[in-house]
Amino acid sequence: MLHGATVVAAALAPAVAYGAEGGIGFYLLGSKGPSAAVMPPPGVYFQNDLYFFSGDVGAGKELPTGGRLAVGVQGDAVIELPTLIWVLPEEIAGGHLGLTASLPIGWKKTNADLTLAGPLGGTASASVSDAVFTVGDPVLGGFLGWQNGDFHWQVGTMVNVPIGDYQEGEISNIAFHHWGADVFAAATWLDPDSGLDLSGVVGMTFNAENPVTDYRSGNEFHFEWAAVKHFSPQFDAGLVGYYYDQLSGDSGDGASGPFKGRAASIGATIGWNFKVGETPVSARIKYFHEFAVRNRAEGDAVFLTVSMPLSITK
């Protein structure tokens, strides 16, 4: 049987934004998970995601990045995503409103067998390696959630604010230097007696043009799912996955072609809940293995997530 603290902790899973220029979706795939649509009680919460990714586009394949075309790209990233979440006590349209703010900080390394001049010109180079440790673009979001018995649903949006440390002309970047918005809807069926949690999130990402590279990523569709079993108030485990499809091509003077991306993944998750003093803490690990990838780096991703309440509204 589910304990109330288990449900609250599992619900703290805000989506995080990340652009298809560079072969990376603006929305950070896999950031949602179990209990994706469950609203925590009114209050202020802190969540920290530590994200690891390693992958490559394959030998001889091109990837537009930094205003150039990179060939044979292999990349690794370790990004920390601290997030503040505020759930308001007032009812709005029969539900509750949550506001979020995130600031990515991290390291990214990109290796390319060859870089070619893009549509805007540039210098061709062989065997390029570029690493960066810096601050990305802040992400602001809002979501509205409801509940009817075991069924929970939620709608929300987030905005990428392009004021991070963008490395002009480099092939490694954490900031994206363009505005972007994502809209999503989530649903969760959570049975407190059996401990079964089935969740799904569907969304669309819209990207503005990067004024440095004159590159505008196309509109992107994403779907994430989770099926887990809560074996006790302290422990749960199950399967997770996502599907990504770029529905419209890239454009702008800096784009060499439509460059539509696609990816799917499947993986596993384990969650556990404990207390530090009197403060309930939730920890979760999610692992994703990608397949059926096109025009993106194909690899493996891991999320390590810790979340806790800072203040609960009585």
Q: What is the dihedral of CA 31, 34, 40, 44, to 10 degrees?
A: -30
Cα-to-chain-centroid distance, residue 250: 20
Q: What is the pLDDT of residues 274-308, one digit of tens each?
A: 999 999 999 999 999 999 998 888 899 999 999 99
pLDDT of residue 15: 44
Q: Report in angstroms the alpha-carbon separations of 267 from 50, 225, 238, 286.
A: 17, 10, 9, 7
- pLDDT of 69 strictly over 90: no
201 Cβ neighbours under 8 A, 6+ residues apart: 15, 32, 36, 37, 184, 185, 186, 187, 222, 223, 224, 225
90-104: average pLDDT? 95
- pLDDT bin (cut points 50, 70, 90) of residue 216 is confident
Helix ranges restricted to H, the chain: 4-11
Q: What percentage of the chain reaches a pLDDT higher than 90?
A: 62
- pLDDT bin (cut points 50, 70, 90) of residue 252 is confident
Q: What is the pLDDT of residues 167-181, one digit of tens each?
A: 887 778 889 889 999
Q: What is the pLDDT of residues 13-30, one digit of tens each?
A: 544 433 355 556 568 999
106-129: average pLDDT? 67
Which residue, 131, 104, 109, 110, is CA-closest to 28? 104
Residues in the chain: 314
Between 6-10, 36-40, 96-100, 123-127, the lowest mean confidence (pLDDT) is in 6-10
- pLDDT bin (cut points 50, 70, 90) of residue 129 is confident
Report the number of distinct structural domains present in the chain. Answer: 1
| Unique residue bearing structure tokens 């207390």 | 275
Q: What is the DSSP string of 54-108?
A: EEE--TT-EEEETTEEEEEEEEEEEEEEEEEEEEEEEEETTEEEEEEEE--EEEE
pLDDT of residue 84: 98
pLDDT of residue 312: 87
CATH of residue 214: 2.40.128.130
pLDDT of residue 11: 52
Asked if residue 307 lies in contact with residue 46, where contact means CB atoms within 8 angstroms, the answer is yes
Structural domain for 298, as ranges: 4-312
Rounded to whole angstroms, the Cα distance separating 63 from 114 reads: 11
Q: What is the pLDDT of residues 134-163, one digit of tens each?
A: 999 999 999 999 999 999 999 999 999 999
- pLDDT of 120 strictly over 80: no
42-52: buried (b, 16+ CB within 10 Å) or exposed (e) per residue?
Answer: bbebebebbbb
Asked if residue 51 lies in contact with residue 303, where contact means CB atoms within 8 angstroms, the answer is yes
- pLDDT of 110 strictly over 70: yes
- pLDDT of 222 strictly over 70: yes
Asked if residue 88 lies in contact with residue 97, where contact means CB atoms within 8 angstroms, the answer is yes
pLDDT of residue 167: 85
Beta pairing partners, 243 = 223, 264
- pLDDT of 121 strictly over 60: no
User: The tokens of 250 are what?
Assistant: 């890239």
Between 84-88, 129-133, 152-156, 196-200, the lowest mean confidence (pLDDT) is in 129-133
Phi, psi of 153 (to 5 degrees): -145, 160
pLDDT of residue 63: 61
52-57: average pLDDT? 89
